[in-house]
Structure 1
Amino acid sequence: MSGPQIVSREDWLRARIELLAKEKALTDARDEVSAARRALPMTPVEKDYRFRSASGEKSLLDLFEGRRQLITYHFMFDPSWDEGCVSCSFLVDNVAHLGHLNSRDTSFAAVSRAPAEKIEKFKARMGWTIPWVSSFGTDFNYDFKVTVDESVAPVEYNYKDKATLEREGLTHHMSGEQHGLSVFFRDGSNVFHTYSTYGRGPDIVLGTYNYLDFTPLGRQEVGTGIMLFKHHDRYESAADGPSCH
């Protein structure tokens, strides 16, 4: 049998208590980081970003839906693609009922460069109801470093410039669509950018991963961390979704 070592109940309890101490230390560290994140300064959003949606044009302020906070997920969906990124789809599958966020004065929206028509078609296919708008034709993705095109702006992803990405072998982040999560705060009609995270930063919101982390087999990923999940409507077929890169 492939799995953890088999031991007596007494030995298991001893090992579990040792692990509990590490878990408590991790919880304390996470609370400390969360407090530091909340204390980050914020910077004004100067541009009047305009997005397209099924219900018409929307401003960044509109995405708040009257609430004080806005979380945007930068969903990888290139205008030339017919469906959204598999990994980004996995994240949206893990978005909880938005009523809970809304009750804490917080709105959520996904943003992609794909045209609104493609977004709506894919959104219907996936059965999602989250707000999702198109940033096609705007600077939004470039300004928030989730579309990398050196002809438009200097290469940067996850706060690393081109030279750093090359040195660290992260060349797949040097062009095209990337994912991330950005947070905004509203004071009246004034909008401020408070936080953005990329790479594994949004990992904490992936409930499926957190459940699997409780189990002996864990996330069951390839050694490189390549996503093994599919679009959720493809588990009954042999067809895999497109790679994000």
Structure 2
Amino acid sequence: MELTEGMAAVVTGGASGLGKASAIALAQAGLKVAIFDLNREAGEAHAREIGGTFHHVDITDEDSVVAGFEAARAAHGQERVTVHCAMASRRGKTLGWDKASGGYKRLPTEDYAFGAEGILVSSYRIASLSALGMANAEPLNEDGERGCITLTASVAAQDGQIGQVIYGSCKAGVNGLVLPMARDLMDMGIRVNSVMPGIFATPLMLGMKDRNPQMWDQLNASVPFPKRLGHPEEFASLILEIARNSYLNAHQFRLDGAIRMPPR
């Protein structure tokens, strides 16, 4: 799919981290980018920098997402590239020792449901609502292509660690969406893929560099090659290639420097 000047894109979580890098790369390729995020201050500032628009969107709320797409399309037209990076989750072991009671405590079902909504259900919500708009747009090329949707999973989808029962299983669910959704949308010319990033130097991780430099060095050393955390720009580079290469469909890409996560 040729990324043309003025083509519309939507990036969730575009105010920081992997989403921000993706929004920058798409804007540099000439696209008009709509950022969906809860962080209004950072999102508006970033949108101004890249010549895009900011939309205050809660990915766990259907009405909020619908309104976000409506506003983005009013500003830029129908998006042809959608990149979903935003998420919400909690952490905890299935069973953990509770010192107060002197016994095991179960991770509440409500915590699991929160993560399922913030990772898996929100991925379906964003992808399906974007696809609905794309399906009614004119084809972009002789293949009949109408758009490309890229979801963000994680290496935890395959290498879930202790304490990641919510995150790992729900990110695996994101990967599980890809093939059946791509098949559902094949007659509309809409591609669906996912990326499984490893350990990336996002603002959250960069905070560790000052707080715990020893842990920071250990994380960098744990990556086989190159022996460092990933740069968000490297994630964004893959996002562009997935959008441009029309033969990439129904695939889950690991982007991780060959890391395989240990149990803890």
Q: TM-score range by the shorter chain?
A: under 0.3
Q: Normalized per residue, which structure has more helix?
A: 2
Structure of higher CA gyration radius:
1
